[in-house]
Amino acid sequence: MTYEEATRYLLTLGKELSAPRQPASVAQAQKFGLGNIRVLAEALGQPQRAYPCAHIAGTNGKGSTAAMLDSILRAAGLHTGLYTSPHLERINERIRLDGENVSDADFAAAFARLAAAIESGIASGALAAHPTYFECLTAMAFDCFAQHAVDFGVFEVGMGGRLDATNLVVPEVAIITQIDFDHENYLGHSVEEIAGEKAGIIKPGAWVVSAAERPEARAVIARRCAEMDARLVEIDTVYRIEEVRGESGCYRAVVSGAHSSRKIALELPLPGRFQVRNAATAVAAARLLAERGFPVSDEDIARGIASVRWPGRLERLAERPAVYLDGTHNPAGARELVRFWEENFAGRRIFLVYGAVRDKAVDEIAGLLFPRATRVLLTAPQQPRAISAPLLAEMAGHLASDFEIIADPAQALARALVLAQPDDAVFVTGSLYLVGDLRASWNGRHLPVPASPPA
């Protein structure tokens, strides 16, 4: 099995919210349940039990927090595996060993083992339906980390938590980041319902770090911890974040215990004030791991935070004009982006390249972002669930003072670069799929400049 054959096969399964073609009732059952992943894990020899791990759920911040915790553990000298989703450019990004994408050869080998497990499961009847794209990749991550004998695995939930394929793990620490509205059609239409799905990663006797701010979410998490006899560490109760200072969009802060003089000075390379809270969450998790006997010092924590990298989230590609990629795709993320503009781009023109996928709160997100942009370039990510640029204009064009429809993302970014002056800023946002498309175009410099652009 070659890498190309493996990736081609996986893509036939669709993406995160897709399922192989089969009756809707079967697809629904297999998408939202742990039955398939249990069968795959059993066939692969329960690889997720071969190493300790952390499990991270939340609406926003879970990917950044996962990357920070992984970086901290590597700074402490541990051999780590990191599983996140979605990817931006290459599928290998989802499975990382010691901070590097898994090699094509290791990816292909993991898929070959998975394919054998699927064939066996279908033949025996243990698998009622073919596993989804996400279930396959999760099983591959479990297995790959075991094959490479990692010291520690960090797993980001794909969506929700309770029925997510990653929820087979029994972690040393469970982490819940901010909780807000997203994926309501799948997780529920209230904060309480969404929090209940996220809190589903809390298992009996777990040690839990929560960064949830909304009172109703905090209440749900606290109740779940009480039911599971789990230890709960709320960062707003146990930690203080002080001396927050920003420079060029990045921040420094001091995190200290609410009832102790123990402090860690943090310097964050990831832009955005919200990353300070994510960093404090990673600090809390790392300290719990140290308490459980893992060799993590405060110096390791500071070094790990200072060296973390997390592309596609307020990622700056250029200056004069400033060019940023940001995967904002829900209202909470849009509010943070607006705050970033207010703190760093007040009085400057912003050209916004925006594309979105279905099932997102486009009206609310556009209502926050579009009025603040000098011009909005409406486009569509190269993804089956994308909203077409003309339909996006019908839905939200009225919220912009000025907009253009440019269906091709690379053309839209090229147009924004033509419009922007050196002191202006260009932001690409609305979908991580769009960010991935344009990050690849930027890195390959496949950015056509439109001929005779409209005024």
Answer positive or negative: Cα dihedral of 442, 433, 377, 247: negative
Over residues 172-224, the pLDDT tens digits come to: 999 999 998 877 677 887 999 999 999 999 999 999 999 999 999 999 999 99
Q: How far is Cα 362 from Cα 159, in angstroms, rounded to an integer?
A: 19
Q: How far is Cα 277 from Cα 232, in angstroms, rounded to an integer?
A: 17
The answer to whether the CB of 132 falls within 8 A of the CB of 31 is yes
Is the pLDDT assigned to residue 82 strictly greater than 50?
A: yes
Check residue 180 and give its pLDDT. Answer: 84
Over residues 249-295, the pLDDT tens digits come to: 999 999 998 877 789 999 999 999 999 999 999 999 999 999 999 99
The pLDDT confidence band at residue 30, using thresholds 50, 70 and 90, is very low
Is the pLDDT assigned to residue 50 strictly greater than 80?
A: yes
Instruction: Mark 274-283 as b/e (b = at least 16 C-beta within 10 Å).
Output: bbbbbbbbbb
The answer to whether the CB of 115 falls within 8 A of the CB of 143 is no
Q: What is the mean pLDDT of residues 32-45?
A: 95
List phi, psi (to 5°) of 50.
Answer: -85, -5
Among 10-19, 291-300, 331-340, 379-388, the minimum mean pLDDT is found in 10-19
Q: How far is Cα 81 from Cα 97, in angstroms, rounded to an integer?
A: 5
Closest CA to 372 of 356, 396, 350: 350
Task: List, in sequence order, every beta strand (DSSP E) within 61-182.
Answer: 80-83, 95-97, 100-101, 152-156, 173-176
Q: How far is Cα 403 from Cα 350, in angstroms, rounded to an integer?
A: 12
